[in-house]
Structure formats: structure tokens, C-alpha cells
Copies of this chain bind each other. A is one copy, B any other.
């Protein structure tokens, strides 16, 4: 977490406790607004209203807009435990379809929209850029890397370019939402798997053509 406005100096004698359960509400509201309006279009007031709080309450916990957004985006990054719980159905296709299931939900569409809405500020803010790579496409690509490597190891496919193939689904889906402004339906996701990724896996790319 980025530095809050915690009281450090005087060991206070009492007073109303800060209701920390509202942190999550405010951060969720921040992500909602970010997904809808982007960083520049988002105002602290929008966040406060959506969270049912006062602007002062937000500023009491995060000193600047940037700090608020940083903490909010950190919620997007999957924990290491997330990568441990990858599906294991026995076939690559089964694993991919299972792992894409949450990606066709609204929850994950918001994630992509947040990433898209932070591009402009990421250009000028090192911290935002850093937290974006961690919470954006990279974990998703890493998950695909694991699934593909596992399929190759168990002999389901021959040797392939794991790094290149692991990027196909995450990058294409991200671009579809962020740039083409189209939803990731289960049909589209499965279509990509069956028409692009799995066919590419089947033909090992040893021979080149001139």
C-alpha cells in the first residue's frame, strides 16, 4: 500500500475509529469509475458519490488521486495463489476453455477497461506504468505459458514457441475490448482457441518458408 495519512506522532487518547471496511468500497468504486471514464475523466467526487462517501473521507485515506488509483489497481493483480489454482482437465483445450471462463465475465471486462483507461497517465507516471504491467496482461500471459508448457510436457503437442503462443489469447482479447470495443463472448473465445491457438500448436514450426 502507498503511504496513507496515518497518524504517527502523538499517541492519541481516543476518538472514533476509522471504518476500514469502507476502504474496499472506495477502491471498488474507483475501479468502476476508471473503467468507465479513464484516469483523466475520473474525479474524486465521482468516486466518493459512487462509494456513498464524502470527498473528505477519500482524501483522509489517500493523499492524492494517484495514490488512490495505485491502491485500486493493485487489487486487479492476481495473487501468486491465483496461478496455483489453474485448471487441470487433462487436455490443453479443456484447460484453456476453463481458464477463459472468468475472462468472459463482466468482472474481467472491467479489468481490461481499467487498463485501457490508464494508458495516457501511464505514459507520464512511472508508478502507474509499473503496477499496470503487474495487473494487466502479464499475469494472464504467464498463466497461458504454464498451461501450454504443461501440455507439451505431457506429450500432447510437439515443441512449440511457448512465449509467442502464450500471448495470443490475452493480447487479442485485450485489444478486442480496449480498441475494438467489442465484448469477449464465449463463442469468440472458443473460436480463437479452435481456429488459431490449437491449430498453431499442432504444426510445429521447424521448417521455414522463403
Task: Name A residues whose Cβ lies closer than 8 Å to a Cβ of B.
Answer: 36-41, 91, 93-94, 115-117, 119-120, 122-124, 129, 133, 136-137, 160-161, 164-165, 167-168, 171-172, 174-176, 178-181, 191-192, 194-205, 208-210
B165-A175 in contact (CB<8A): no
B179-A192 in contact (CB<8A): no
Which residues of chain B come closer than 8 Å to A120, judged between CB atoms? 37-41, 116-117, 120
B194-A119 in contact (CB<8A): no
Which residues of chain B come closer than 8 Å to A202, judged between CB atoms? 199, 203
What is the minimal beta-carbon distance from A41 to any residue of chain B, in angstroms?
A: 6
What is the minimal beta-carbon distance from A36 to any residue of chain B, in angstroms?
A: 7
B175-A194 in contact (CB<8A): no
Contact A168/B164 with A41-B120, A119-B119, A200-B199 known, Cβ cut-off 8 Å: no
A200-B210 in contact (CB<8A): no
B117-A209 in contact (CB<8A): no
Looking at the complex, which one of B38, B91, B175 makes contact with A123 (CB distance below 8 Å)? B38
Which residues of chain B come closer than 8 Å to A124, judged between CB atoms? 37, 41
Looking at the complex, which one of B160, B172, B210 makes contact with A175 (CB distance below 8 Å)? B172
Which residues of chain B come closer than 8 Å to A205, judged between CB atoms? 194-195, 198-199
B165-A171 in contact (CB<8A): no
Looking at the complex, which one of B117, B171, B192 makes contact with A119 (CB distance below 8 Å)? B117
What is the minimal beta-carbon distance from A156 to any residue of chain B, in angstroms?
A: 9
B161-A191 in contact (CB<8A): yes
A209-B198 in contact (CB<8A): yes
Distance A123 CA – B177 CA, assembled complex (angstroms): 12
Contact A179/B209 with A40-B40, A195-B164, A200-B200 known, Cβ cut-off 8 Å: no
